[in-house]
């Protein structure tokens, strides 16, 4: 595969609003011995990208990033080159990858240099577009359901924000485990999406009496809950978890759920590693998928970020090539 010296990328020259996202040409990153160069075709876009664009992670973690800066923590495409120590891949393989805060640049570009441990062959039959947007939310959902809540077959769980990126993956994962899923979605469109993906119950938290439905679904209280947003409705949802029940939420939601003396509440990060990526792969092969609400062209990245502030079910992605 012939690799040019430069690539198209959406870059920022300083932290700020969506208007800082500009299409430009920059050098292709060099790969280290344990890295894979991915010719990116689609990049997943998440709400965490806006926090990164504003400089939130740089401030929070004490980072000193170099500009021009390329966003994008997940994507899918074709293997273009391999580091000397990389095994298990061939040039031309279709892969998806995660690379949060990658110092060599993210996936809003034609090429990305990624740690080989965070790269996987796309499961057979999964389109590149969907593959590009499933890792971030999928890993975060799986960490919550499996590692933090340790959800078991037959247990009841409430997913608050079930039509969002993390939520609609968490609802599917819990359903596949064999749990009894009560999915609180948002809007008629979001509720319709979730109902197609799970065998459990999905209701519109905006329009339906979700409290009455929750009491009917789990009269003794839910064994577990995953909260993907904070605030009044999330605090109300906590009340429907039984004494001794478990509650999890991904770090970054605001405000954080308040501690309760009779329930376990834990925040967590959706950190990638080869083992959990392999576990997510197995769920994807079993039918877990991601809903893409909108696809934007690379040149329209600013409009894409503006859309993140609007209502939509599932995920949004960028078409790179």
Calculate the CA dihedral of residues 228, 304, 203, 235 and round it to 10 degrees. 30
Q: Which long-range contacts (CB under 8 A, 24 or more apart) does 309-312 make?
A: 309/50, 311/186, 311/187, 311/190
Average pLDDT over residues 41-58: 93
pLDDT of residue 40 exceeding 80, the answer is yes
What's the distance, CA 31 to chain centroid? 25
What's residue 4's pLDDT?
Answer: 85
Q: Please check the confidence at residue 173 and state whether its pLDDT lies above 80.
A: yes
CB neighbour class for 51 (10 Å; exposed up to 12, middle 13-18, buried from 19): middle
Question: Predicted confidence band at 1 (pLDDT cuts at 50, 70, 90)?
Answer: low
pLDDT digits (tens, 9 = 90+) for 188-205: 999 999 999 999 999 998
* 174 or 269, higher pLDDT: 174
Q: 286: which 2 tokens?
A: 């079993």
pLDDT of 222-245, one tens digit each?
A: 999 999 988 888 888 899 999 999
Residue 267, pLDDT > 80, answer: yes
Does residue 214 carry a pLDDT above 80? yes
Could you tell me the pLDDT band of residue 258, with boundaries at 50, 70 and 90?
confident
> Quick one: pLDDT at residue 234?
85
Q: Where are the alpha helices (DSSP H) in the chain?
A: 47-53, 56-61, 128-142, 165-177, 187-197, 210-217, 232-238, 274-285, 301-307
Average pLDDT over residues 78-82: 97
Which pLDDT score, from 0 to 100, does residue 187 have?
Answer: 93
Checking if the pLDDT of 249 tops 70, the result is yes
Residue 252, pLDDT above cutoff 90:
no
| Average pLDDT of the residues in 4-24 | 96
> For 115-133, what is the mean pLDDT?
93
Q: What pLDDT is attached to residue 215?
A: 95
Query: What confidence tens digit (pLDDT) does each residue in 270-291 have?
Result: 888 889 988 999 999 999 999 9
Mean pLDDT, the chain, integer? 94
Report the percent of the chain where pLDDT is more than 90: 83
pLDDT of residue 272: 84
Q: Which pair of tokens denotes residue 141?
A: 């959902």
Concatenating the DSSP letter of every residue in 43-56 gives: EEE-HHHHHHHTTH
Q: Identify the pLDDT of residue 129.
A: 97
Average pLDDT over residues 49-53: 93
């Amino acid at each position: 595969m012939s690799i040019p010296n430069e690539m198209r990328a959406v870059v920022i020259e300083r932290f700020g609003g969506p208007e800082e996202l500009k299409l430009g040409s920059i050098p292709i990153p060099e790969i280290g011995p344990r890295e894979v160069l991915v010719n990116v075709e689609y990049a997943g876009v998440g709400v965490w990208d806006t926090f990164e664009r504003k400089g939130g992670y740089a401030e929070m973690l004490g980072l000193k990033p170099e500009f021009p800066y390329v966003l994008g923590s997940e994507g899918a495409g074709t293997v273009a080159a391999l580091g000397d120590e990389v095994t298990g891949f061939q040039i031309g393989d279709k892969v998806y990858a995660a690379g949060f805060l990658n110092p060599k640049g993210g996936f809003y570009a034609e090429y990305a240099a990624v740690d080989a441990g965070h790269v996987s062959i796309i499961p057979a039959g999964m389109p590149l577009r969907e593959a590009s947007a499933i890792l971030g939310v999928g890993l975060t959902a799986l960490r919550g359901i499996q590692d933090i809540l340790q959800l078991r077959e037959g247990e009841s769980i409430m997913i608050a924000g079930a039509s969002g990126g993390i939520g609609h993956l968490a609802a599917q994962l819990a359903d596949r485990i064999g749990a009894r899923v009560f999915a609180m979605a948002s809007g008629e469109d979001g509720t319709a999406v979730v109902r197609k993906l799970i065998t459990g119950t999905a209701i519109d938290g905006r329009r339906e009496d979700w409290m009455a439905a929750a009491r009917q679904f789990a009269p003794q209280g839910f064994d577990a809950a995953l909260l993907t947003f904070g605030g009044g409705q999330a605090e109300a949802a906590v009340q429907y978890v039984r004494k001794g029940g478990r509650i999890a939420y991904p770090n970054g939601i605001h405000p954080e759920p308040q501690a309760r003396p009779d329930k376990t509440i834990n925040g967590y990060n959706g950190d990638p590693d080869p083992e959990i990526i392999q576990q997510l792969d197995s769920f994807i092969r079993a039918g877990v998928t991601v809903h893409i609400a909108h696809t934007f062209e690379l040149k329209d990245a600013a409009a894409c970020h503006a859309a993140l502030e609007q209502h939509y079910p599932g995920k949004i992605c960028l078409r790179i090539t």
